[in-house]
């Protein structure tokens, strides 16, 4: 996978393991009936934040939420292969660009 492991999550509904590396490679490993674990899907994530500060959690069944010190929380629906973004407001009350960043999610 290259790089260090930033997130290691078990996807119960699909009996698979999700690994996200510091090089932003997300790999889904499917557990087969013969107890072998094989790569099922590989995706290169695109973020504008710091990959070393990547935080990932389950936000629902098959819904992965990630952030990496940026203005976006990225949502990955693994079951339907869709993604969404939740963003902070672009400006504050004085029409200046907000400097707030997501640094953690729970």
CATH number reported for the structural domain that contains residue 43 in this entry: 2.40.10
- Is 68 domain-assigned? yes
- Is 96 domain-assigned? no
- Report, in angstroms and rounded to the nearest whole number, the Rg of the chain calculated over CA atoms: 15
User: How many domains would you assign to the chain?
Assistant: 1
Whether residue 95 is predicted with pLDDT greater than 60 in this model: the reply is: no
CA 45 to CA 83: how far, in whole Å?
11
Vertex 5: Cα angle to 104 and 17 (nearest 5): 95
Q: What is the pLDDT, as a whole number, of residue 65?
A: 93
Q: What would the pLDDT profile of 54-80 be if each residue is shown by its tens digit?
A: 899 999 999 999 998 888 899 999 889
Edge to edge, what strands does the sheet with 5-11 contain? 5-11, 16-21, 25-31, 37-44
- Is 36 domain-assigned? yes
Q: Which domain holds residue 43?
A: 5-87
| pTM for the predicted model, two decimal places | 0.79
């Amino acid at each position: 996978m290259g790089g260090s492991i930033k997130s290691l999550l078990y996807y119960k509904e699909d009996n698979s393991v999700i690994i996200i590396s510091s090089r932003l490679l997300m790999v889904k490993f499917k557990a087969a009936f013969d107890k072998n674990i094989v790569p099922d899907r590989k995706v290169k994530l695109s973020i504008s934040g710091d990959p070393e500060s990547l935080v990932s959690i389950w936000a629902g069944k098959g819904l992965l939420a990630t952030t990496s010190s940026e203005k976006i929380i990225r949502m990955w629906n693994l079951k339907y292969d869709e993604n969404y973004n939740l963003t902070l407001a672009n400006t504050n009350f004085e029409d200046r660009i907000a400097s707030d960043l997501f640094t953690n999610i729970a």
